[in-house]
């Protein structure tokens, strides 16, 4: 073999080995830029793999006449299982579930069935139901209340409600501002007829307890002190109770505000006429009006202003249906234009202070529903505003007077505190 031939054979063997090595290597991918790789990965994935499930919330209420089981079924929940979990929670009673009960259901958007139900049984009580693999589990949640003391200072320009509504706007919701006004009227009903005695320019201060929750719910507690300034006179109502007893209200001298007579025969009162001369709305003649007219809706309960005995109950001329009560001091109270009489509103019956004896109407000479109210002293009509001004309440026992004065001083001092700490102050004119 020649040298040239041997060299050719060697070259051929090397070439064959190189081709074999190349054929055994994996195919090469051209170098890609990062953006191109991200686009490729994004195209390979689906929206479901990119997004986490989210919660869906639905609000509902229990309809009138609807059962909780029906509501659960409407929400796609097994009524039997959910009710069983509810019955395991404290204070649940199937018979006392109110219409309008707020129910919140929550589920993942990947699940058509609710995973959680929240039933709001009150502003501070709710029950939370969780769905598990074994059914539903319930847990009651109580929201804690935080109590502070709030003071309101107002000047009357038209009505008590208007003054307090403006002054307490930042402290209480509207329904509680109304409740505060009516509570104040109830406390002072033996001393002040809020429809007549309060005049423009009179000052009113009220110190009361208020409770709130973290959810924003508000409720009004006890009224602790009241001060009313009228034409230079001051009336106080201080809440005070013996160490083991219910609290009552007393004036600055420690005398109970409870007296022999209420100042007005209606709880919700609005006067349409005052004592004195007026033009009769039907007869169109000027004549003495020997009483006070209280405009009110037909059917409004009329209450006895004091303990006594019914001496007349029937129909009498322009008075229409009228009822008269004789009281222990010889006074007679007369209630006219009644729609009808309450049970026990018959001659000879004994009635107690505040007892319902009839209902507002428009019988006799009346153009609209109202109560005509008179007070007779010695058989003659007297201005109720003067005749019923009885301030002889029972005094606090001697052993309690020093404690009462200390408590009074502390409560009245709260009126002067700046709006800081736990005492909130508000002031306005209506």
1 falls within a domain? no
Q: What is the pLDDT of residue 372?
A: 93
Q: Is 15 contained in some domain?
A: no
How many domains does the chain divide into? Answer: 3
In a shared domain, residues 102 and 156: no
- Position 258 scores a pLDDT of 87
pLDDT at 47: 53
Q: Give me the DSSP letters along 287-305.
A: EEE-SEEEE--TT-EEE-S
What secondary structure letter does DSSP report for 29?
P
Question: Domain holding 300: CATH number?
Answer: 2.70.70.10
pLDDT value at residue 429: 43
The whole-number pLDDT of residue 291 equals 79
CB contact set of 124 (below 8 Å; sequence gap of 6+): 142, 143, 144, 145, 213, 217
Tell me, yes or no, whether 78 and 127 share the same domain. yes
The verdict on residue 396 lying in a domain is: no
Same structural domain, 298 and 371: yes
Phi, psi of 110 (to 5 degrees): -95, 0
The answer to whether position 42 is within a domain reads no
Residues 287 and 380 both lie in one domain: yes
Q: Are residues 284 and 379 in the same domain?
A: yes
Whole-number pLDDT of residue 417: 66
Are residue 350 and residue 417 in the same domain, yes or no? no
Is residue 361 domain-resident?
yes
Residues 301 and 379 in one domain: yes
Q: Are residues 225 and 138 in the same domain?
A: no
How far is residue 225's CA from residue 203's CA, in Å, rounded to a whole number?
A: 14
Q: Based on the fold, state whether residues 106 and 79 are members of the same structural domain.
A: yes
Of 79, 113, 142, the residue that ends a domain is 142
Do 275 and 381 belong to one domain? yes
Query: Domain boundary at 96, 127, 142, which?
Result: 142
Residue 388: exposure state from Cβ atoms within 10 A (0-12, 13-18, ≥19): buried
Contact present, 328 and 296 (Cβ < 8 Å): no
Q: In whole angstroms, what is the distance from residue 159 CA to residue 57 CA?
A: 45
Task: Tell me, yes or no, whether 297 and 376 share the same domain.
Answer: yes
Q: Based on the fold, state whether residues 321 and 412 are members of the same structural domain.
A: no
Q: Spell out the per-residue pLDDT of the chain, length 430, in tens.
A: 555 555 555 555 545 444 454 444 444 444 444 444 444 444 445 555 566 888 888 899 999 989 989 999 988 888 899 999 999 898 888 888 888 999 999 988 888 889 999 999 888 888 999 998 888 999 998 889 999 999 999 999 888 888 888 888 888 998 899 889 889 988 988 888 877 778 889 999 999 999 988 878 898 899 999 999 988 889 999 999 855 457 899 999 999 998 889 988 988 544 444 444 444 444 444 444 567 888 888 898 999 999 999 999 999 988 999 999 999 888 999 999 999 999 888 999 999 999 999 999 999 988 889 999 999 998 898 888 788 876 567 888 888 999 999 999 999 888 876 543 344 444 444 4
Last residue of a domain, one of 109, 142, 175: 142
Is residue 180 one of the residues assigned to a domain? yes
Q: Does the residue 61 lie in any domain?
A: yes
In a domain, 36, yes or no: no
Per the rule left: phi > 0, alpha: psi between -120 and 50, beta: everything else, 242 is: beta
**Which range marks the domain in which residue 73 is found?**
55-142
């Amino acid at each position: 073999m020649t040298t040239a031939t041997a060299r050719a054979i060697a070259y051929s063997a090397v070439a064959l080995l190189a081709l074999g090595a190349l054929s055994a290597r994996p195919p090469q991918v051209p170098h890609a830029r990062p953006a191109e790789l991200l686009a490729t990965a994004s195209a390979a994935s689906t929206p479901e793999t990119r997004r986490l499930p989210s919660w869906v919330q639905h609000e509902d209420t229990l309809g009138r006449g609807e059962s909780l089981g029906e509501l659960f079924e409407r929400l796609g929940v097994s009524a039997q299982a959910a009710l069983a979990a509810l019955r395991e929670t404290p204070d649940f009673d199937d018979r006392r579930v109110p219409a309008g009960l707020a129910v919140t259901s929550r589920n993942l958007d990947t699940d058509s069935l609710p995973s959680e139900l929240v039933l709001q049984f009150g502003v501070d009580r709710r029950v939370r139901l969780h769905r598990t693999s074994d059914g539903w589990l319930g847990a009651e949640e109580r929201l804690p209340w935080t109590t502070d003391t709030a003071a309101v200072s107002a000047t009357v320009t038209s009505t008590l409600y208007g003054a307090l509504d403006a002054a307490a706007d930042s402290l209480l919701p509207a329904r509680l501002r109304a409740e505060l006004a009516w509570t104040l009227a109830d406390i002072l009903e033996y001393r002040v007829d809020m429809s007549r005695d309060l005049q423009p320019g009179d000052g009113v201060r009220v110190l009361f307890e208020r409770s709130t929750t973290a959810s924003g719910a508000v409720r009004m507690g006890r009224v602790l002190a009241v001060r009313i300034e009228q034409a230079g006179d001051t009336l106080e109502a201080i809440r005070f109770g013996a160490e083991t007893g219910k609290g009552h209200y007393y004036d600055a001298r420690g005398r109970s505000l409870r007296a022999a007579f209420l100042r007005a025969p209606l709880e919700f009162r609005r006067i349409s006429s005052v004592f004195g001369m007026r033009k009769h709305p039907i007869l169109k003649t000027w004549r003495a009006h020997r009483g006070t007219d209280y405009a009110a809706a037909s059917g409004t309960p009329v209450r006895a202003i004091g303990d006594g005995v019914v001496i007349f109950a029937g129909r009498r001329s322009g008075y229409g249906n009228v009822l008269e009560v004789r009281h222990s001091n010889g006074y007679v109270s007369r209630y006219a234009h009644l729609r009808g009489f309450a049970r026990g509103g018959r001659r000879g019956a004994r009635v107690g202070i505040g007892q319902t004896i009839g209902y507002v109407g428009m019988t006799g000479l009346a153009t609209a529903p109202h109560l005509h109210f008179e007070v007779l002293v010695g058989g003659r009509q007297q201005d109720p505003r003067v005749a019923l001004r009885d301030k002889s309440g029972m005094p606090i026992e001697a052993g309690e007077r020093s404690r009462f004065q200390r408590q009074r001083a502390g409560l009245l001092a709260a009126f002067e505190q700046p709006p800081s700490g736990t005492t909130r102050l508000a002031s306005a004119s209506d």
